Amino acid sequence: MDKPAKRTRVNKHKRVSRACNYCRARKHRCDGSHPTCSRCSAIHYPCSYGPDSKKRGLPTGYVRALELLWALVFTVVPNSKVIVQELLPGIQFALDSRSRLVLNSRLVRDSETLREAWDDSDVQEELDQLLSNIQQGNGSGTNSVASIKAETSSADLSLRARAFEAIKSSPPVDDARRASGPLDANRASTPLPQHASGLQTAPWNDVSSATSAQQVRRLIDIYFAHTNCWLPIVQKHKMLELLYSPSRNSRAEEGNLATLWAVLAYASLQDTRDPTGPSDGRAALPTPEVIYSKARQRIPNEDARLPGYVQALLILGLFKMDQGDLVSSWHLIGQAVRICLHLDTAPSASNGSNVANVDDDNQKRLLLSCFILDTLVSCRLRKPPHLRTGDLCFSPMLAETGPNEWEPQNLNSATLGNINSMNQPSRALSIFNCYASLMRILNDAMSDHLSSDRPCTKSLLALNRWYDRLPQHCLISSLSGQGQPEATQNLTPQQFNLHLAFTSTEMYLRSQQALVSTEGLSSTQTVELTGLSMGYLLSTFAKEFGVASMPAIFKVYQAIGERRVFRSARQGHSADSLFSALSSEPSPNLLPTPPELSETSAASTNRSGWLSAMSLPCQVEDAMHEYDIETWGKIFGTAELGEAGISTQQDKESLNYLNGMACPGSVVVKVLNTVVFPYAEDIHQGKLPVFNLSLPLVPHPSHIGRVHAVGSDAILAKPGDLVFFSAAIYARDDPSVSIIQGHHGGEGPIGRKLMQGEWRDGALQQYQKVPLENIFVLDEDRLCTQLGYTPADLHEISFYSISAGALFDAANLLAGETIVLGPATGTYGGITSDMALALGANVIAIGRSEEKLAHLKQQLGNHERFSYVVMSGDDEADAAAIQKASPDGRGVEVYNDWASGSLEGSPYFSAAIQAVLPEGRVVLSGAPSGSISVPYTLVMHKNIKILGKVMVSRGGIDLTIKMVNSGVLKLGKRGGSSHKVYSLEEHHEAFEDAKQNSGFRVYTDIAPNPW
């Protein structure tokens, strides 16, 4: 067979690097011949190669150009080579899914942002333009190079030296860090160019022809060291950008320019008060009032609709506040609020890009800063604030990340005693979050004080919760065993601000309480102890950072607390005199002086040894020795009680403050015992969302306690009564809404709303405020004297009453009826079995473990009306076994399901419901997180009622207590129970023990107070 002839191979078209304009426009093949290509020559068409024609791929010399550009950077910019070498070890190159080269570094989250940064930069465009100029040349490259060299040799190269003079004279980065710490190292690595081209049109140049960039930069540093650390609303890089480079869009930058001028004005005002500052540079600057006027002129009256104007107005408000003109400050802040609301600064709820998230955080900062300053100044002037807590339609939490949170703070410590804190992250954003939450409490108190007969009880409890939830880096432990000098030696300005705001808020709430309550502490005591703490913080701040660095808002805190001072006839010094003393003395006599600063301080032998021996305006007698109160510390915290002036005597119950908490409809109870559930720790770690809790909170539901104080509407309960508290709370204006105090948040948003109110916290505290209708007075003589029960024994009433809710309220179980219980081997299975037997019913317990079921029968004394069925997992066989176990073999009247909260559904429901007789009842009392499948036809034909029951009625609890009183239900050792009781401080051990060992008649308890 002949082989086919080989085809003649046609040469492939050779790709040319450049086609003519005509061929490119018509997508014809072009041979790229010059001056006329073959196609244009054949059709006699003019051929041209225009400048718009681009070569494929990278321009000629692109890689070489990048190399030369880097070489220029290494040559001109000092330390740039060192910085790049520090970055290289943390860089890895890889190929993505599309075989594209990507760079991975711990310094960036998304490598794609690096490509976008290069594509969006002006450097790329300018580099392309420079290379295109070469491509368009006509071979005169040699002449061009020669001319460039000639220009370079004749140019004044001192411009480069002047531009980088500040950093060329500084030591390398590593040497600077070793020599001066993070502050100087930061300054060494961020130079202050004096004559860079961007400075020629910098926005501050019209202030004065003699103004230098160094002086303006110094004012910016002062502002960020003393103000932005506690009110972080300005981005420093934006201020420096405006300082060192001309604006590309003057209209868009108008708001930021106003902010820059406001920053300079307020920093200049602070700088003029500092006698230690450089005096030579101040002469080049205008007065603070002139800079203030310039800043004010940059803010239009009606058309101010940029975020920068909000920042500027707030800072100018601080300027007026510092000058003592609070009314003008209030007006400026109010204008900022209006602009802020007009801008609709409430952040979006969508989870967009990182840029959107950053914008959301910036918007939050603005609105929260307006809210904080508006609340404080309004409180000082006794005016209603523009913004209310309800206007914050988002959770007031900034993302606690970025430079403001983790970079070391550039502190200007007057004594250089704060070096340790200079090496630590500033944590400005997390502290600001706590600050904003604190101001919500103050704002709510200002709004509620006219609408409630007990306006401060709720606010004081909220203040206590706020303090308890403070992160560790926000705490001052001066009143928990550590002296004040040691506790405050490393505090940053934002930490001082936070605790001064806390003290001022607490003083305000106490003063409002004194106006409406005759049962609280005397105002003199409160002012003395609280005022001392504020005074000490102020004097320590002045010592550490200087009076000139003291924020103007500190005066507002003092003035808010001044209201209490003037109510005391014995108080001889006002807040203004206190501040005046600070301005002239670093450690004034009217404030407690640290021992190392006091020449007259006597040696102390007790916990109050840090107090100065100098005379105080009001002498506090023995109350200063009582900072370690344990009995009441769980309600308000040790530090708050000590500063609030709550003193203790031998009988700690003689304190009167908690009497004022017992408003009508409520009772304050001294908690004696509460039982720990096996799953308690899982609930309060958020692992069981079915409980619908807003964490954190004080956990645990019911308790046994002793009445400490009652509301004016109580007719039966009185102080000293032994009571059982049931934690099932019903909304008084809508009883269909219910929660379990400290344990279960009810259903949906309306349940959470009730949970966030007065009855949020549970029994794991020494004293608890509870609804009056939820306590049951116990016969202490019968139960404790005759029957010998302890509070731990009596708390078994809580378990039996829950079973009573299922048997008595829901199932209406009658004597002689038969009930099947499952799973029956848990705590409530045994409790409900015991309760049902006491009511005269027959009990069938079901479960998978025959050993556990047999043990349960033994615990119940091998009762003749008790039997059990071991479940096999076959629903039909298990249903038949349950029917057979019933007295007449026909079935049961009631099925009570107790599926655990750790399960997703009920393991025995489908089998047990088949054994229920017509007109029977099924009661669901467990807490599984999933759902169950209901046999629709079976339920309909048998007319079976399916009910859910978690709460118990008052009648059910009364029945349980009567059964205990009569001896039908036996508790404690009389019933075969054992209790392991832990103290409140041992709650972690109690949680673990309950998880491992709890069960029917084996209980773990916590006793917050001794019996």
pLDDT interval class at 916 (50, 70, 90): very high
pLDDT of residue 2: 56
Mean pLDDT of 665-672: 93
The rounded mean pLDDT for the chain is: 74
pLDDT of residue 911: 95
pLDDT of residue 262: 92
Integer Cα distance of 460 and 475 in angstroms = 18
Mean pLDDT of 106-129: 77
pLDDT of residue 673: 95
Q: 745-755: per-residue pLDDT in tens?
A: 888 888 888 88
Asked whether residue 506 carries a pLDDT value surpassing 60, the answer given is yes
pLDDT interval class at 238 (50, 70, 90): confident
User: Greater confidence, 150 or 182?
Assistant: 150
pLDDT of residue 589: 29
pLDDT of residue 483: 46
pLDDT interval class at 966 (50, 70, 90): very high
SS3 label, residue 344: coil
Residue 859 in tokens: 């615990």
pLDDT of residue 230: 85
Asked whether residue 345 carries a pLDDT value surpassing 80, the answer given is no
pLDDT of residue 162: 43
Mean pLDDT of 478-490: 50
pLDDT interval class at 244 (50, 70, 90): confident
Asked whether residue 504 carries a pLDDT value surpassing 50, the answer given is yes
pLDDT of residue 108: 76
- For residue 146, count other CB atoms closer than 10 A to its CB: 11
pLDDT of residue 922: 97
Range scoring the smallest mean pLDDT among 51-55, 275-279, 646-650: 646-650
Asked whether residue 758 carries a pLDDT value surpassing 80, the answer given is yes
Range scoring the smallest mean pLDDT among 155-169, 304-318, 395-409, 431-445: 155-169
pLDDT of residue 807: 95
Range scoring the smallest mean pLDDT among 333-342, 450-459, 781-790, 846-855: 450-459
Q: 626-638: per-residue pLDDT in tens?
A: 323 333 333 333 3
List 667's β-bridge partners, or say none: 710, 770
Q: Are 911 and 878 in contact (CB under 8 A)?
A: yes
Q: How many separate helices (H) and strands (E) can be counted in the chain?
A: 41, 17
pLDDT of residue 801: 92
Q: 252-269: per-residue pLDDT in tens?
A: 678 888 899 999 999 988
Please give the C-alpha separations between residue 916 and each of 246, 817, 880, 966, in angstroms, as whole numbers.
Answer: 85, 12, 11, 32
Integer Cα distance of 127 and 859 in angstroms = 88
Please give the C-alpha separations between residue 128 and each of 57, 73, 135, 137, in angstroms, as whole numbers.
Answer: 12, 18, 10, 14
Range scoring the smallest mean pLDDT among 84-98, 340-354, 759-773, 863-877: 340-354
Mean pLDDT of 774-788: 94
pLDDT interval class at 919 (50, 70, 90): very high
DSSP secondary-structure letter at 379?
Answer: H
Asked whether residue 530 carries a pLDDT value surpassing 60, the answer given is no
Q: 987-1000: per-residue pLDDT in tens?
A: 889 989 998 888 88
Integer Cα distance of 1002 and 248 in angstroms = 75
* Domains observed in the chain: 24-55 (no CATH), 194-343 (no CATH), 425-599+616-644 (no CATH), 664-785 (3.90.180.10), 791-970 (3.90.180.10)
pLDDT of residue 52: 53
Residue with tokens 């339609």: 393
Percent of the chain with pLDDT over 90: 25
pLDDT of residue 416: 42
pLDDT of residue 241: 83
List 703's β-bridge partners, or say none: 725
